[in-house]
Amino acid sequence: MRMTDDPTIFGRLKEKLIGKKQEWAAAGRGLTGKHAAPGQKLPPGQHEVKDWPVLDLGIQPEVKTTSYTLTIDGAVEHPAVLTWAELMALPQRDQVSDMHCVTTWSRYDNVFRGIPAEVILALVQPKPECRHVIFHSHDDYTTNVSLQQFSQPDVMLAHTWNGQPISREHGGPLRGMIPKLYLWKSAKWVKRMEFAAADAPGFWETRGYNNNADPWAEERYS
Ligand SMILES: Nc1nc2c(c(=O)[nH]1)N[C@H]1C(S)=C(S)[C@@H](COP(=O)(O)O)O[C@H]1N2
Ligand SMILES: [Mo]
């Protein structure tokens, strides 16, 4: 089923929400025109929140660790299908990160635990022509980042937030966490990571949102 022609009430509701965010992109909502130094904690046009809002397409798939697999394929020397046990046996790290959502909220100092990007890279070894990483999720969401953005030291596949397993609504059991980009680049319920030579703009990137998505440069829209 395509996301755009679901006739159910949830489908129509979802369409309304997606339509609203596309309108924001077209109108340049939230843009201040200011730039901020990357060292500055709060990017321009953002405000701090203490709760953790939930944003997604309205489908929150139940993904069980007992049957979970992560597929990593494409332009890599060693494609892999990893079970939950295999993922947990990889080196893990704690990382304190801020989250910046394009809808203008930022949430500071989240302790995420997970598998660092560098561990994934060492495992699968991107081929020389590889330039992009496309995340595919269980709700059919996709998002794309450059290999360089994925390779930053604070990037991880996270399974734990502030000492608790990441909840289903926030993308558990495993989600991307790319703290220096707007949060739509951090895929919830990750199913597959596709390494690629060619870029493939994802769900929001094809609906008016910026391909690069640097909050300090206010790269909200395309
Ligand atoms: N699989 C999936 N990942 C997703 C989304 C989604 O709809 N599906 N929404 C993105 C958007 S737009 C945002 S702002 C963040 C929200 O994460 P949160 O709900 O944990 O705050 O998830 C991102 N990752
Ligand atoms: Mo978002």
Task: Report how far ligand 1's centroid is from the alpha carbon of 128 (Å).
Answer: 30
- How many domains does the chain contain in total? 1
SS3 of 133-198: the string is EEEEECCCCEEEEEHHHHCCCCCEEEEEECCEECCHHHCCCCEEECCCCCHHHCCCCEEEEEEECC
* Residues near ligand 1 (Cβ within 6 A): 52-57, 101, 137, 139, 141, 170-171, 183-184, 186-189
Residue 10 has pLDDT above 70, yes or no: no
| Domain presence at residue 33 | yes
| Domain presence at residue 222 | no
CA-nearest of 14, 13, 11, 56 to 169 is 56
Window from 23-32, 49-58, 70-79, 81-90 with minimum mean pLDDT:
23-32
- Predicted local confidence at residue 44, as pLDDT: 97
pTM over 0.85: yes
Residues with a beta carbon under 5 angstroms from ion ligand 2: 55, 184
| Domain presence at residue 44 | yes
- Output 16 or 217, whichever has higher pLDDT: 217
CATH (domain of 176): 3.90.420.10
CA-nearest of 44, 53, 129, 201 to 210 is 201
Task: Report how far ligand 2's centroid is from the alpha carbon of 153 (Å).
Answer: 23
- Atom from ligand 1 closest to the CA of residue 171: 20
CB atoms near residue 56 (< 10 Å): 18
| Domain presence at residue 18 | yes
Domain extent, residue 26, equals 3-217
d(CA 45, CA 222): 17
Q: Among 184, 204, 209, say which to mutate for ligand 1: greatest number of ligand atoms within 8 Å of CB.
A: 184
User: 197 in the Ramachandran plot: left (φ > 0), alpha (ψ -120 to 50) or beta?
Assistant: alpha
Q: What is the dihedral of CA 120, 123, 126, 128, to 10 degrees?
A: 140
| Domain presence at residue 7 | yes
What ranges in the chain are assigned the alpha helix state H?
A: 9-27, 84-88, 117-124, 147-150
| C-beta of residue 123 within 8 angstroms of C-beta of residue 189 | no
Residue 219 has pLDDT above 90, yes or no: yes
pLDDT in tens, 130-182: 999 999 999 999 999 999 999 999 999 999 999 999 999 999 999 999 999 99
pLDDT in tens, 79-123: 999 999 999 999 999 999 999 999 999 999 999 999 999 999 999
| Domain presence at residue 111 | yes
